[in-house]
């Protein structure tokens, strides 16, 4: 019996560690707070993280913020199930965290309270007996009272042993099945501190990919409002045939240095919007990065709404949605609109986060978070020629909260669209399948634990 229990325990630890590693491997350190009696560190040691510490809530100096770009993941392994003051514990930890940090808590399933009490009664579990079982609504409320927001709840461990591969299959598939997904023995809960930007407003870089957009270049600069902070505009031109690069070269010296504005320009060696965004972001110096498509169908005048949503702490990843307000003229053809709705629905399910318009070109996030997206892409592979999914996928994995800004989508006033509806749609469908297998189901996930 002891050998079987040890096997189940190790298998469960491996499954949970694999889920936590999705967030922790892109952090700078994992800090395990208040390990419970009987916690041998097996779970902690299986989590993939650059650095691991153990601290106690009576001495949280080790949680003091490091460099601004650093990210800490705090691990609470079962603490919420033995606490009679969850709000007090979370509030104490909250005082030492910044908005980029995350708390990952292992919480036992409140529907299976009877099973855990039986396990405690017959001493089938290590550690103190479970006394507290919180429901999802209770957990959300406790997080709010403590200055946190629940970013993700991921059920885990449906079958706590390998059992000829059946355990692996069930633990991978059941989290994606409605209803049945809540039957896991426990859940990995990710919390983020709710914190608006205070003091100095973060600097901003706006990347404008441009291919055959000569007539929109100076208009983009003229229509950009004052953000009240240092603003860098980076044009990235990609093999235009209408004189776009020459127009960019003409306007850059005219606008560079006006007010808080710095204007720069680069040319792509490769092709595609995704490559243009990567190049622009790699050259960026701003604290916060965003994208403005050079066709100006997303009005530049609305960009401050994205920036302010970030500064107010409403989200870590601010995404535009074009599907709320009526569209102007032929701004989006009928089949394109249906495709956008389809991909929005299926991607929201895959990412476990509501995203109303996955293909809106305007997205905003902190440069430090983008750098983690780059690290994720290095592990995951370059698969996205458009650049939307390769930002949305790691945003979900990294537990970034998505805030959406509705925009009135305008018709073009210059040039023609670069979108190829059917071939691009097939490419998006392939990427969606990749997301289902690799992000939602975790197939081929790095750091998958084994016994």
For the residues 134-141, what does the mean pLDDT come to? 95
For the residues 305-321, what does the mean pLDDT come to? 95
List the chain domain ranges.
2-193, 204-440
Q: What does the alpha-carbon distance between residue 206 and residue 189 come to, in Å, rounded to a whole number?
A: 34
Q: For residue range 322-376, what is the model confidence (pLDDT) as tens digits?
A: 888 776 655 556 667 777 788 888 888 888 888 888 888 899 999 999 999 999 9
For the residues 138-150, what does the mean pLDDT come to? 96
Residues of the chain above pLDDT 90, percent: 60
Neighbours of 326 (CB within 10 A): 7
> In what order do the strands lie in the sheet containing 186-193?
52-55, 29-33, 72-77, 102-108, 186-193, 148-156
The pTM assigned to this predicted structure is 0.88
Closest Cα to residue 424, out of 285, 300, 273, 293? 273
Q: For residue range 16-52, what is the model confidence (pLDDT) as tens digits?
A: 999 999 999 999 999 999 999 989 899 999 999 999 9
Q: For residue range 380-422, what is the model confidence (pLDDT) as tens digits?
A: 777 776 778 889 989 989 999 999 999 988 876 666 655 555 6
Q: What does the alpha-carbon distance between residue 58 and residue 39 come to, in Å, rounded to a whole number?
A: 18
Res. 65: pLDDT tops 90: no
Q: Which residue has the tokens 């650095």?
A: 51
**CATH architecture assignment, domain 2-193:** 3-Layer(aba) Sandwich (3.40)
pLDDT for residue 356: 83
Q: If you count DSSP H runs as helices and E runs as strands, how many of each does the chain have, helices first? A: 14, 13
pLDDT for residue 207: 98
Which tops the pLDDT comparison, 128 or 327? 128
pLDDT for residue 420: 58
User: What fold, for 204-440?
Assistant: Spore Coat Polysaccharide Biosynthesis Protein SpsA; Chain A (3.90.550)
């Amino acid at each position: 019996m002891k050998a079987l229990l040890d096997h189940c325990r190790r298998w469960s630890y491996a499954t949970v560690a694999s889920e936590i590693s999705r967030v922790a491997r892109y952090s700078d350190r994992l800090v395990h707070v208040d390990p419970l009696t009987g916690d041998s560190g097996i779970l902690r040691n299986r989590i993939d993280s650059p650095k691991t510490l153990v601290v106690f809530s009576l001495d949280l100096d080790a949680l003091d913020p490091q460099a601004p770009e650093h990210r800490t993941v705090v691990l609470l392994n079962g603490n919420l199930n033995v606490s009679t003051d969850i709000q007090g514990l979370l509030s104490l930890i909250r005082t030492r965290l910044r908005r980029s940090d995350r708390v990952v808590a292992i919480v036992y399933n409140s529907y299976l309270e009877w099973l855990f009490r039986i396990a405690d009664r017959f001493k089938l579990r290590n550690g103190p007996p479970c006394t507290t079982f919180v429901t999802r609504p209770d957990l959300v409320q406790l997080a709010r009272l403590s200055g946190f927001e629940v970013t993700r709840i991921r059920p885990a461990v449906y079958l706590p042993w390998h059992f000829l591969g059946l355990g692996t299959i069930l633990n991978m598939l059941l989290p994606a099945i409605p209803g049945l997904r809540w039957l896991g023995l426990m859940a990995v809960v990710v919390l983020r501190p709710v914190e608006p930007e205070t003091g100095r407003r973060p600097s901003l870089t706006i990347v404008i990919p441009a291919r055959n957009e000569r007539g929109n270049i100076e208009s983009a600069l003229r229509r950009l409002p004052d953000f009240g902070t240092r603003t860098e505009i980076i044009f990235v031109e990609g093999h235009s045939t209408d004189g776009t690069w020459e127009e960019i070269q003409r306007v850059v010296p005219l606008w560079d240095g006006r007010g808080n504005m710095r204007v720069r320009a680069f040319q792509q060696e490769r092709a595609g919007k995704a490559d243009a965004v990567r190049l622009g972001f790699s050259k960026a110096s701003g604290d916060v990065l965003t994208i403005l498509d050079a066709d100006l169908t997303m009005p530049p005048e609305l960009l401050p709404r994205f920036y302010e949503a970030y500064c107010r702490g409403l989200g870590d990843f601010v995404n535009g949605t074009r599907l709320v307000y009526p569209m102007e003229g032929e701004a989006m053809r009928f089949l394109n609109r249906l495709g956008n709705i389809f991909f929005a629905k299926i991607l929201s399910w895959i990412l476990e986060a509501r995203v109303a318009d996955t293909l809106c070109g305007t997205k905003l996030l902190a440069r430090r978070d983008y750098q983690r997206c780059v690290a994720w892409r290095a592990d995951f592979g370059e698969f996205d020629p458009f650049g939307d999914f390769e930002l949305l996928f790691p945003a979900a994995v990294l537990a970034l909260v998505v805030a959406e800004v509705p925009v009135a989508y305008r018709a073009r006033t210059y040039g023609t669209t670069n979108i190829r509806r059917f071939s691009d749609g097939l490419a998006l469908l392939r990427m969606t399948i990749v997301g289902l297998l690799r992000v939602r189901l975790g197939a081929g996930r790095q750091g998958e634990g084994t016994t």
